[in-house]
Amino acid sequence: MTTKLIPTPLAEAIAKEAAQHEADPMREGQVLRVLVAAGYTPQEIAELAGSSWHRVDMCLTLLDLIDAGKGAMAEGVLPFSLAWFIARLSEPNQQLMLNRWLRGDFRNVSHAERYASAICADEQPQVSF
């Protein structure tokens, strides 16, 4: 078990503060990052916040977006779900996906998410037995 640098009651208050930023997932992720740095896992944070693990993971992953992606989210031109897919990519591929999204190269968000997911799979090391 990892040592927690913030006591549970305070961590719960921080998690609830993050939940108040649900309309701004990037800000929510920034608040949640405090709990990760204090030794809490995303699963533990989700329990404290009364949220799903997936939501916590998505908000934390957004923090890996390149600055242009964060700006596109702030401007409202990059949807939250697509931003999560893009944030999982290497920086060059994030830039590629963002450029293609902003140019309108995809039929819809789902199409762009599938494309980003395929790039992510290609970036993963291939294991051979």
Whether the per-residue pLDDT at 22 is higher than 80: the answer is no
Closest CA to 119 of 98, 93, 101, 99: 93
8 Å CB contact between 65 and 93: no
Total-model pTM: 0.83
Q: How many residues does the structure list for the chain?
A: 129
pLDDT: which is higher, 92 or 19: 92
DSSP alpha helix (H) spans, the chain:
8-19, 25-37, 42-49, 53-62, 67-75, 80-87, 91-103, 109-123
Q: Which of 19-23, 36-40, 47-51 has the highest mean pLDDT?
A: 36-40
pLDDT average, residue stretch 69-80: 96
Band of residue 1 on the pLDDT scale cut at 50, 70, 90: low
Helices 91-103/109-123 angle, 10° precision: 160
Whether the per-residue pLDDT at 129 is higher than 80: the answer is no
Give domain limits for the chain.
8-62, 76-123
pLDDT digits (tens, 9 = 90+) for 104-116: 999 999 999 999 9
